[in-house]
Amino acid sequence: MAPVVKITYPPELPVSARRDDIAAAIRDHQVVIVAGETGSGKTTQLPKICLELGRGAGAAGGGRLIGHTQPRRIAARSVAERIAEELGTELGDVVGYQVRFTDRTSRASRVKLMTDGILLAELQRDRDLRKYDTLIIDEAHERSLNIDFLLGYLKRLLPRRPDLKVIITSATIDVDRFAEHFRAPVVEVSGRTYPVEVRYRPLLELPEDDEDGEPVQRDQTEAILDAVRELSAEGPGDVLVFLPGEREIRDTADAFDALLGSSGRGDRLEIVPLYSRLSAADQHKVFSSHPSTVRRVVLATNVAETSLTVPGIRYVVDTGVARISRYSVRTKVQRLPIEPISQASANQRSGRCGRVSEGIAIRLYSEEDFEARPEFTDPEILRTNLASVILQMASLRLGDIARFPFVEPPDRRNVKAGTDLLEELGAVTAAGDRPGVRLTAVGKRLARLPIDPRLGRMILEAERLGCLRDVLVIAAALSIQDPRERPEEQRAQADQLHARFKHESSDFLTWLNLWRHLKQQQRELSSSAFRRMCRREHLNYLRIREWQDYESQLRQVCKEMGLDLGKGRGEGSEGGAAYDEDGIHQALLSGLLSHVGALEEREKARPGERRPMREYLGARNARFAVFPGSVLKGRNPDFLMSAELVETSRLWARQNAAIKPEWAERLGAHLVKRTYSEPHWSRKRAAVMARERVTLYGVPLVADRLVSYGKVDPPLARELFIRHALVQREWDSRHRFLAENARLLEEAEELEHRARRRDIVVDEETLFEFYDARVGDDVVSGQHFDQWWKRARQKRPDLLTFDPEMLTHGTADEVRAHDFPTQWLSGGHDGDAGLTFPISYHFEPGAADDGLTIDVPVATLNRVDADDFSWLVPGLREELVTELIRSLPKHLRVAMVPAPNTAREFLDATPPGAEPLLDALERFARSTRSLVIDRDAWDWSKVPAHLRPTYRVVTEEGGEAGRGKDLDALKEPLRPTFEQAMADVAADSGVTASGQTSWTFGTVEESFVQRRAGHEVRGFPALVDEGATVGLQVLATADEAAAHHRLGVRRLVLLGLGPAQPVDDVLAAAGLDQRAKLALVGSPYASVGDLLDDVRAGIVGEVVDARPDVRDEAAYDALVAAAREAVAAGTSAAVHDVMRVLEAWRTTDKAISGRADLMTLPALTDMRAQVGRLMAPGFVGEAGVTRLRDYPRYLQAVAYRRERLDQQVARDRQLMDQLSGLQEAWLHAVAALPDGQPVPQHLREARWMLEEYRVSLFAQPLGTREKVSDQRIRKVMGRS
């Protein structure tokens, strides 16, 4: 039996006068709409009317409850207290209440006050709401998310519950919408209000007294000051000014302070701010009393519109704008833009001054503007993320939200945004063929958490990571208003105190630091002392208690769900950051994946401009900056997450922390987009790799990461593996079949390189098809192949080995091994044994090594010449001869066309290799075509490069010392390398000596042979003149050895002869008088002694040249004896010869000295150079006493030429042209000799032939010693 209560109705309440009408409507209709302004009594009296109708018998009476919802917890509690008081019962008896985490009802309860969220949660357990026979949905005009969801759900439920009565209460705002939705009657209850005069004072005015008619745009703050002045003249009463935000309130307050300070009226006007972030003490100032002589001006946001009733207000100033929370579909963030308010909100504001008496409202906009505004403010469901509603609907299995009967269906874009958020959190997936979404395991757990889905996702992830207790603290902090207060007059002090808790890289860990501080203070302080501490440190005590209560309630919910709370490491620690920072941030990030940002490159500031603020690229191409109050301001980590993105003047990120991109990649694995580029084979990794780019809602988490491509695209990875690893052999593997296949393929490819054709070996596609048909389908890398091949080769070891016949086409038979040998046999020189050199072929026109390459060991360079290789290999010989014929000048070429026929004729008639190719061609042309071809006529630049062999000089270790097509040019820079090789040969042979003054060498062989790098190396021992001593060295060529040996033997003979005779004795023996002695002083030598020493050397040199090479001591001793006799017999005559030479020299030198004109200068320069070479210091020893007798004739020829030069300049120039080529060739040949190498025999011979040739050209009457001509000189110079 239901408990009996006495029901009375306060007569002063307007609803009491309509209770019979209301009761009749409830009795006769399933749904009733009760409309009435604030203060009409509908909230407290409707439950009593229902009780009087017998509704809500309660569980004790065998019946059900009257459910009464409120949008706010404080309202549910205070209304329950009020109704219980009016019924004369205890709270929790007949009337109870339930809000989040608090239940004050009992079995005796008949009326249950609750938040709309509590009723929503009960739907999960009681889908038909069988606990209730009556539901009162209060304040429905607020159109919160929960209210709209309940109204839609009830619309569906009512046909299934005809016994259920629903009463919807609303202010007189848009009542018809509710009535139409439920097809229900409306009972209107009037409120208690007084008339309000509305005055329009728009900011943009066109004053009548303005002659020009120019509009005047007033500042908003100035307009407010003007409005307050106007209202001050209307009588006593306080003024309520509605402003959009805190900044505007501060600006206006500053303007009032400045005004009052200048006017001296500060004691008659009190300015009081009112906004939600104010401390409790500052908010209470609004409700405190003040002297009647002081007018209070309250500067408020829209919090004073409906939530709070400010006493004593007779005047209102309405700016007509407010910050209205609105969800951005584009950026997926909740914005707070300043927008014009609706007509309903404007009327609510003006109604604030009609509660106690008649009032005046000044609107700072025009009446036309007011009329053009929307009638009502958009319901929350149309401007908010619908994630919570969608999650609950999915939990209740209500199907597609688009088909749900909302009072006002939400925008499809907002529905999608809510669904997208739940998909971001991993809470829902598509429901398949059915409309709507399906909850995942995470989603089912989220639906049981009565908090924002983002925070719920953080809690679930925190449990997995073992940091749940700390994350609960942060989640609770993110759900309340910031307890840190910043009073206007003590802002700097408050900031300094709060800075103690800041974490260097995380606003979230700042909360934990503050939490730890508060817990420690609570343990140490009494309750009152703790309150004083909060006030002293500018911390709002009530908000701290709310924070702690909410955290405690979250812990209770987690316990009920069986979540492992673990231990919060931050709570008991006094030393600082003892938290699992990474774990906490990863848990938070799980709920903030679309709030991730990547730091963008800073744009360069233009000259004179400030550097632009660093921005982050956020989800869906949004760009935001770190809020100035964040600890990350100025730190600019590469990546961050933000708990809140709010758009005011720009998009700001509040509550931030630095993160690692790999966290977002892991947590957002179901959301990230991966793109791959540049798939390529990696020889090092033996796998196909690609560059991966990972983005999360467009934010680049990974820019250019190297990843295995086998899992991304297995077929393509397998194809690339086969092509690169197996076909192109770009794999360092030891599988036998690969080595065997490479060998077989190289043999086949060698045929192409030799024949210079590309139609012999099969293409790579054939090889790919071979492997593709055999290799397993799942092989995408070297590791996969190794595993597969280990099994496959046990059945067929030769499965992957090529068949040689499959590698070539039928044209391979046309390539004969004889035409393209792999070894070159050289016949050697001077009786040397033949040498064998490896030949390799390469077919790549334009490449440096196109054609054949011959490997020449560096130690055998002295035994080969370019002429040895002039005939090339048989397969290229005909093409070479053809191209050489084509290179001839036209007047020569015409006698040998067609070139291919002539080439074949030549090759048929001439045995290859008997003589150099060009010699043979020139002889063939003379004998068959009567054609004389000069050597310079062959133009090698027109011969294709592949017809000239490439020489590769290899060291003993097998390395490459040099490469090129000109063997002679290649030898010169390699001479140090070659000399070192010869030194090594000499050291190994023991044939070296130095500093000798007598014959200590035993028998010196002309040459010897050693093997180096697989080749025979020939060395040539020779005596070397060291100045005062003689050495023994091994030289590279016979010519070089002969030149050194000649001078070495001469030096050793001179040493064997002993000291020379005194100068005076020699001159006396020659019979020279004092005048003749003075003539000897004027020579090119430094002294007469040096001259006589050189005469002695010249005599000995001729003795050495006249006898066979000295190779042993006996021959040396005989040579010394012969030299001694020659010196004794020939010195006097040689001195007289020198006297004649010096006399001729002085005469000639006088003739060619002096100034010359431009016409004769070239000839005189040539003559002076000739005389300089003849009379250089050491000329006697170099020429020898026999050639010395020709010197007067050579010098006389120069004088003869000079005598006739002035009359025969043109003729002299013609003769010089005949000579200059030969002279320059000889000079270049001598200059090209390595340092320290004597002039070889053929160049010494050519030198004296050139002197005779000069006599024949310029002084023919003087005669020559021998026949001489251009051709003969060239022949001698070409000998080596």
HEC assignment per residue over 1098-1153:
HHHHHHHHHCCCCCCHHHHHHHHHHHHHHHHHHHHHHHHHHHHHHHHHHHHHHHHC
Dist. CA 974–CA 964, nearest whole Å: 12
The torsion of the CA quartet 357, 362, 367, 371, rounded to 10 degrees, works out to -60
Asked whether 658 and 639 are in contact (CB, 8 A), the reply is yes
* Residue 1076 confidence (pLDDT) above 80: no
Burial 916-955 (b: 16+ CB within 10 A, else e): bbbebbbebbeeeeebebeeeebeeeebebbbbbbbbbbb
Name the CA radius of gyration of the chain, rounded: 57
506 and 362 share one domain: no
Asked whether 951 and 837 are in contact (CB, 8 A), the reply is no
HEC assignment per residue over 478-512:
HCCCCCECCCHHHHHHHHHHHHHHCCCCEHHHHHH
Question: What are the angstrom distances between the C-alpha of 676 and each of 612, 619, 704, 709?
Answer: 34, 21, 9, 9
Angle at 593 between CA 591 and CA 596, to 5 degrees: 125
224 and 141 share one domain: no
Looking at the chain, the whole-number percentage of residues with pLDDT higher than 90 is 38
Mean pLDDT confidence for 1069-1094: 84
**Residues 6 or more apart from 903 whose CB is under 8 A from it?**
878, 881, 882, 885
1189 part of a folded domain: yes
344 and 428 share one domain: no
Mean pLDDT confidence for 975-985: 62
Reported confidence tier of residue 214, pLDDT bands at 50, 70, 90: low
* Residue 832 confidence (pLDDT) above 50: no
Q: Tell me the residue ranges of DSSP E strands in 17-164.
A: 31-36, 65-70, 95-99, 102-104, 111-115, 132-137
Mean pLDDT confidence for 677-694: 94
1051 part of a folded domain: yes
Write down the pLDDT at residue 1015.
56
**Chain-wide mean pLDDT for the chain?**
85
Write down the pLDDT at residue 131.
93
* Residue 279 confidence (pLDDT) above 70: no
Write down the pLDDT at residue 988.
63
CATH number at residue 144: 3.40.50.300
* Residue 577 confidence (pLDDT) above 50: no
Asked whether 142 and 174 are in contact (CB, 8 A), the reply is no
Dist. CA 112–CA 98, nearest whole Å: 7
Residue-range definition of the domain harbouring residue 439: 380-448
- Domains identified in the chain, total number: 9
738 part of a folded domain: yes
**Residue from 123, 545, 13 nearest 114 by CA:** 123
Asked whether 718 and 774 are in contact (CB, 8 A), the reply is no
Mean pLDDT confidence for 351-359: 80
836 part of a folded domain: yes
* Residue 570 confidence (pLDDT) above 50: no
740 part of a folded domain: yes
What residue type is assigned to position 1082 of the chain?
A: G
Mean pLDDT confidence for 1048-1065: 88
Mean pLDDT confidence for 1242-1254: 92
865 and 852 share one domain: yes
Write down the pLDDT at residue 306.
55
Reported confidence tier of residue 911, pLDDT bands at 50, 70, 90: confident
Is the model more confident about 1128 or about 823?
Answer: 1128
Q: CB-based burial of residue 558 (10 Å sphere; 0-12 exposed, 13-18 middle, 19+ buried)?
A: buried
What residue type is assigned to position 1192 of the chain?
A: P
76 and 96 share one domain: yes
Q: Give the model confidence (pLDDT) of 600-645 as tens digits.
A: 987 666 666 666 788 999 998 899 999 988 999 888 999 999 988 8
680 and 737 share one domain: no
Q: Give the model confidence (pLDDT) of 515-542 as tens digits.
A: 999 999 999 988 889 989 999 999 988 7
Asked whether 205 and 215 are in contact (CB, 8 A), the reply is yes
Is the model more confident about 1232 or about 225?
Answer: 225
Reported confidence tier of residue 572, pLDDT bands at 50, 70, 90: very low
**Residues 6 or more apart from 334 whose CB is under 8 A from it?**
325, 326, 327, 328, 384, 385, 644, 645, 646
* Residue 72 confidence (pLDDT) above 90: no
39 and 177 share one domain: yes
Write down the pLDDT at residue 332.
46
Handedness of CA 1004, 1008, 1010, 1012 (dihedral sign): positive
* Residue 347 confidence (pLDDT) above 70: yes
999 part of a folded domain: no
* Residue 1036 confidence (pLDDT) above 80: no
Q: Give the model confidence (pLDDT) of 107-137 as tens digits.
A: 999 999 999 889 988 887 888 999 999 999 9
Interhelix angle 1191-1205/1161-1174, nearest 10 degrees? 170
- The answer to whether the predicted template modeling score (pTM) of the entire model surpasses 0.85 is no
360 part of a folded domain: yes
Is the model more confident about 149 or about 33?
Answer: 33
Question: What are the angstrom distances between the C-alpha of 661 and each of 590, 615, 637?
Answer: 12, 17, 11
**Residue from 978, 975, 974, 979 nearest 992 by CA:** 979
527 and 540 share one domain: yes
Residue carrying the six token digits 């990843």: 707
267 and 178 share one domain: no
350 and 392 share one domain: no
Asked whether 1043 and 1237 are in contact (CB, 8 A), the reply is yes
Residue 1003 has φ and ψ, to the nearest 5°, of -100, 125
Residue 1061 has φ and ψ, to the nearest 5°, of -65, 155
* Residue 1232 confidence (pLDDT) above 60: yes
Q: Cis link prior to 900 (omega < 30° from 0)?
A: no
Domain boundary among 578, 607, 624: 578
Mean pLDDT confidence for 672-698: 93
What residue type is assigned to position 109 of the chain?
A: S
Mean pLDDT confidence for 771-778: 93
* Residue 713 confidence (pLDDT) above 70: yes
Structure tokens at 871: 């005939």
Reported confidence tier of residue 576, pLDDT bands at 50, 70, 90: very low
**Residues 6 or more apart from 376 whose CB is under 8 A from it?**
173, 174, 342, 343, 344
Dist. CA 443–CA 431, nearest whole Å: 13
991 part of a folded domain: no
Looking at the chain, the whole-number percentage of residues with pLDDT higher than 70 is 89
Q: Give the model confidence (pLDDT) of 369-397 as tens digits.
A: 999 999 888 887 777 777 877 887 788 77
**Residues 6 or more apart from 260 whose CB is under 8 A from it?**
266, 269, 271
1253 and 1170 share one domain: yes
Mean pLDDT confidence for 49-76: 83
Domain boundary among 448, 481, 507: 448
Angle at 703 between CA 698 and CA 704, to 5 degrees: 145
- Region at 70 (left for phi over 0; alpha for psi -120 to 50; beta for the rest): beta
CATH number at residue 399: 1.10.10.2130
**Residue from 388, 452, 395, 389 nearest 124 by CA:** 395
Write down the pLDDT at residue 206.
64
List the beta bridge partners of residue 112. Answer: 67, 96
349 and 391 share one domain: no
In this structure, how many other beta carbons lie within 10 angstroms of the beta carbon of residue 233? Answer: 6
Q: Give the model confidence (pLDDT) of 425-477 as tens digits.
A: 999 987 666 667 888 999 988 888 767 788 889 999 999 999 999 999 998 88
Q: CB-based burial of residue 1160 (10 Å sphere; 0-12 exposed, 13-18 middle, 19+ buried)?
A: middle
Domain boundary among 414, 429, 448: 448
